[in-house]
Structure 1
Amino acid sequence: MSHSNSIDVSAVEEGVAGSGKLALIRIKQWLQSPAPYLNLLGVCGFVALWYLTTEVFDLPLFNKLPGPKATFSEWVSPSPVYGISLHTHEYYQHIGISVWRVFQAFILATCLGVPIGLFMGWKKKFKDYTFPLLEVLRPIPMLAWVPLAILMWPGREASIVFLTFLGSFFATVLNTLLGVESIDESYFRAASSLGASEKQIFFKVIVPGALPFVFTGLQISMGYAWFSLVAGEMLAGEFGLGYLIWNSYTLVQYPVIIIAMITLGVIGSFSSLLIRLIGDKLMQWKVREVA
């Protein structure tokens, strides 16, 4: 028994070490490629264009917008003019509430959307029942759901999470469905000829085969969750980054709008990166193939 346990532990350690080495190789390859430097150049170019249009040339379309100098000085100020900066508690309170809402909606959309998408791709009859309804509901904008969400759910918090969930749910279902439909038919025939049961086909063929599309869909659905959240918070929220953007507009606090927008973009990017890393961890065969 002890010998078997030592073998299992060593195998796990080798697997972890191999994953770590593979990650280091990918990072090294990325740093040696022109991609990170082009990314940085693109960001710097955007900031430079923002600076020129708002603070140097003072173009008519942009003369009411705050420039990068005014925005970043407000963002890092210990005593901000409008009360929101890296040094204020309210800034992190808005971030925390928005992140918690997106987390709830994203987990709910994943737990419902992935199984529904898998079954829609697996069972044609189930797809025939559900796909038309999905296609009718999917194009409806989030703003159109706001009155119904407020009527259906007792509190503002639940209605905001519901609106965020809707944006994430449809993207998750459709990408999971696409993943199942992209699996080569020969895998199903091979599994059936080897005597695999329906349950084995589902867990050994459909789920692994659809995983790359599932995680691509989850990255897309995370983006949908964030902009659905902002729409919900603007109209029904009391806290959060979306509420902060709208409230700052009504109070003519334009630098705070830019601060909240940049914060949304940064957090959303890190959210997608986290999903990508989890997907790489669960799909080591795909990572090795790319590497």
Structure 2
Amino acid sequence: MRFASVAAAVLVWHLLSANDVTFWLRFNRLPGPVEVFEAFRTQLATPRYYQDVTQSLVRILSGFALASVLGIGLGVVLARSHWASDVLKPLLEIARPIPAIALVPVAILLFPTNEQGIVFITATAAFFPILVSTRHAVRALPTVWEDALLTMGASRLRVMRSVVLPGIVPGVFGGLSVGMGVAWICVISAEMISGDFGLGYRTWQAYTIVDYPNVLVGMLSIGAIGWLTSGCVELVGRRLTGWLSSEQRSAS
């Protein structure tokens, strides 16, 4: 069924573009799947395509790793410490509504290279979904779990290791999945603005020279690789939460 849905979408796209349908949307100007496939086959024969894919993946994974460490760590601290929440939460809440892509001028001023600035923007984009989901996951833990260990004489460190960290895994991976998707949106936008390599830069370059088949090649490549990376995050999450029932896993 999944393959059939994709095949049906490609068939509709082919019929609309091949027949130059112009009802509201102008499919007569959109390259068809055959043109895009030929452009994609040409791209696969060039080393530049693989360089762009590798560059975008390095930026995504670097930024996502930074966001994961900082987001999970700060999320736990903010949920467990009233003092840290009072000091840091106002600053974070002011920064959270600012779109990460709006930080491009700041990144250009702060960082000596475009590469560091793009990783910064990517990390910032993924950081807040991970932070918020982690904070909510810690606060949602049943207090009876912690109270039971404290009653038996467990230390705060033991509570953190045996109750808090295992208990927040489902909620954390929900934030990680969202963070990965947002990170892809922002890394592509940053590459279009200030990148030298990467799928976003190459897609924008194709647009500037009116090479529309390669614009769609870039878009479809971004979608496919983004889906694979998000799928990897969800797969790891399912492996680490095998103790949950299927209903609990879908709810988290």
Considering the TM-score relative to the shorter chain, is it more than 0.5?
yes
Give the corresponding residue for 1:209.
Answer: 167
The answer to whether the Cα contact below 8 Å between 2:173 and 2:234 also exists between their aligned partners in 1 is yes
- Identity of matched residues, %: 36
The answer to whether the Cα contact below 8 Å between 2:20 and 2:26 also exists between their aligned partners in 1 is no
Q: Distance in 1 between matches of 2:147 and 2:47?
A: 59
Residue 61 in 1 paired to residue 26 in 2?
yes
Q: Which amino acid in the other structure matches residue 11 of structure 2?
A: A
Q: 2:10 aligns with which of 36, 40, 47?
A: 47
After superposition, what is the alpha-carbon deviation per residue over 1:229-284, rounded to whole angstroms, capped at 9, x for unaligned? 01110111010001011111101011111111111111111111211222233333
Q: Max radius of gyration: which structure?
A: 1
Give the corresponding residue for 1:286.
Answer: 244
Q: Distance in 1 between matches of 2:96 and 2:4?
A: 37
Counterparts in 2 of 1:280 and 1:135: CA distance versus 1, 3 Å: same
Q: 2:100 aligns with which of 139, 142, 147?
A: 142
Q: Distance in 2 between matches of 1:218 and 1:270?
A: 14
Counterparts in 2 of 1:130 and 1:45: CA distance versus 1, 3 Å: farther
RMSD: 1.8
Q: Distance in 2 between matches of 1:130 and 1:278?
A: 30
Give the corresponding residue for 2:78.
Answer: 120
1:287 deviates by 6.6
TM-score, length basis structure 1 = 0.80
Greater shift in the superposed pair: 93-102 or 141-150: 141-150
After superposition, what is the alpha-carbon deviation per residue over 1:111-169, rounded to whole angstroms, capped at 9, x for unaligned? 11111111112223322322222221111122321101000000111111111111011
Q: Distance in 1 between matches of 2:96 and 2:121?
A: 12
Greater RCO between the two (CA within 8 Å, min separation 6)?
A: 2
Structure 1 moving runs of 4+ over 6 Å? 287-290
After superposition, what is the alpha-carbon deviation per residue over 1:9-52, rounded to whole angstroms, capped at 9, x for unaligned? xxxxxxxxxxxxxxxxxxxxxxxxxxxx2x22322232223223
Give the corresponding residue for 1:174.
Answer: 132
Q: 1:250 aligns with which of 208, 213, 221?
A: 208
Q: Distance in 2 between matches of 1:209 and 1:70?
A: 50
TM-score, length basis structure 2 = 0.92
Q: Distance in 1 between matches of 2:87 and 2:26?
A: 50
Give the corresponding residue for 1:272.
Answer: 230
Q: Which amino acid in the other structure matches residue 69 of structure 1?
A: V
The answer to whether the Cα contact below 8 Å between 1:142 and 1:231 also exists between their aligned partners in 2 is no
Residue 72 in 1 paired to residue 37 in 2?
yes
After superposition, what is the alpha-carbon deviation per residue over 1:160-213, rounded to whole angstroms, capped at 9, x for unaligned? 111111101111111111111121122122222222211111111111110111
1:286 is paired with a residue of what secondary structure?
Answer: coil
Q: Distance in 2 between matches of 1:241 and 1:217?
A: 25
| Structure 1 residue ranges without an equivalent (≥5) | 1-36
Q: Which amino acid in the other structure matches residue 188 of structure 2?
A: V
Q: How many residues align?
A: 247
Q: Which amino acid in the other structure matches residue 113 of structure 1?
A: G
Q: Distance in 1 between matches of 2:100 and 2:11?
A: 34
Q: Distance in 1 between matches of 2:27 and 2:122?
A: 31
Q: Which amino acid in the other structure matches residue 194 of structure 2?
A: A
Q: Distance in 2 between matches of 1:203 and 1:264?
A: 38
Q: Which amino acid in the other structure matches residue 43 of structure 1?
A: V
